[in-house]
Amino acid sequence: MTSSLSLLLKKYSVPALFTILGITMVVVGLKTKQNGQYIIATIMMLIAGLLSFLYSSGKVSSKVLTTLGIAAGIGSLIAMGMATMSVYKTDQHIKKFNLCEKIAISNLRDIRTAQKAYAEANGKYASTWEELNDFIKNGKVPFVLAVGVLPSRKITEAERNYIYKDNRAIDNNMTEMEAYLLSKSPSPAEDLLGYKRDTIMVSFMSTKFGSKSYMENRMKEGIGKFYADSITSIPMSGGKKWKLETKDSIQIGLDFFPAIRVSGKLPIAKIEGEKPLEMSFGKLTSNDVSGSWEQN
């Protein structure tokens, strides 16, 4: 009796183990909603266990077993192909999301830069994308033209008299303002010849978005050339605009500031099936213009 039981265990233990394991994995896979590749793989394991069990019992000939084994092998190859394609699609999705996020951050940074310059010139933020685009393309911003080096010395008594017309003490080295005023005198000192600190109005577009370093950095990041009309749209969304909200004045303590918030959801989720990522900068309740991507 013991000998017969031992023989049965040796004959059927491994097939039974594979069969039970296959059934368990199929049930778990269906309950947890695993992907198709996982389900196919568990079914192959279940079939292998059943075939092994039937073969051990003598109910399936080796010829039938071989035929079924070939069929199972073909099924396994199909499953492997599907798994490879799934991995490829996942990799492409991740690359697409990363590029979308990178362009979105670049767009929001550029919008913030342009809105700050607009606010400095107008006392408030541009309330429409048309206003902002016009400023980017045609706006002017002050630029300090600096020529010459500030002398590292104190002003002389004659220079003091020319600037201040009094006999105040000469304790500190010459300041930028003193150097500028002396450079405009009828007879400036030799170290002030050609000294200039003039404020001129220059194109916002060329100074902020037209510089060589800015363009090279965009190319390095793989986000292409700068186009003023495109930064107001959420990337890869088919032209959907970022949501622009502004307030001309909010009170913070005793002071008043303009406020802005620009926000939008990316069209691609970081992981397929999850909610799209929302990105933004600014708040309508304060003068904080930090970006959501800067808070991680």
Share of the chain above pLDDT 90, in %: 41
Q: What is this structure's pTM?
A: 0.65
Who contacts 155 (Cβ-Cβ below 8 Å, separation ≥6)? Answer: 163, 170, 174, 178, 182
Q: Kindly state whether residues 250 and 278 are assigned to the same domain.
A: yes
121 within 8 A of 139, measured Cβ to Cβ: yes
Gap between the Cα atoms of 26 and 16, Å rounded? 15
Q: Kindly state whether residues 85 and 111 are assigned to the same domain.
A: no
pLDDT of residue 269: 84
Given phi > 0 = left and psi -120 to 50 = alpha, else beta, which region is 290?
Answer: beta
Residue 27 lies in a domain: yes
Q: Kindly state whether residues 86 and 7 are assigned to the same domain.
A: yes
pLDDT of residue 173: 94
Residue 215 lies in a domain: no
pLDDT of residue 129: 96
**Radius of gyration for the alpha carbons in the chain, expressed in angstroms and rounded:** 37
pLDDT of residue 30: 65
pLDDT of residue 127: 95
Q: Kindly state whether residues 9 and 65 are assigned to the same domain.
A: yes
Number of domains in the chain: 3
146 within 8 A of 200, measured Cβ to Cβ: no
Tell me which H or E stretch contains 144. strand 140-147
> What would the pLDDT profile of 222-274 be if each residue is shown by its tens digit?
888 888 889 999 999 988 999 999 999 998 888 899 999 999 999 988 877 78
CA distance readout (Å), 174 to 23, 40, 191, 195? 88, 82, 12, 13
pLDDT of residue 194: 86
pLDDT of residue 152: 92
Q: Kindly state whether residues 161 and 26 are assigned to the same domain.
A: no
Residue 26 lies in a domain: yes
pLDDT of residue 272: 74
Domain span at 62: 2-90
Q: Kindly state whether residues 128 and 274 are assigned to the same domain.
A: yes
Residue 24 lies in a domain: yes
Q: Kindly state whether residues 31 and 178 are assigned to the same domain.
A: no
Write out residues in the chain with pLDDT < 70, as ranges.
1-19, 21-22, 25-26, 28-46, 48-84, 86-87, 296
Question: What DSSP string describes 58-90?
Answer: T-S-HHHHHHHHHHHHHHHHHHHHHHHHHHHHH
Residue 264 lies in a domain: yes
Burial of 126 (0-12, 13-18, 19+ CB in 10 A): buried
Residue 44 lies in a domain: yes
pLDDT of residue 276: 87
Who contacts 136 (Cβ-Cβ below 8 Å, separation ≥6)? Answer: 114, 204, 205, 209, 228
Own/partner contacts of 32-39, CB < 8 Å, gap of 24 or more, are 35/86, 36/82, 37/79, 37/82, 37/83, 37/86
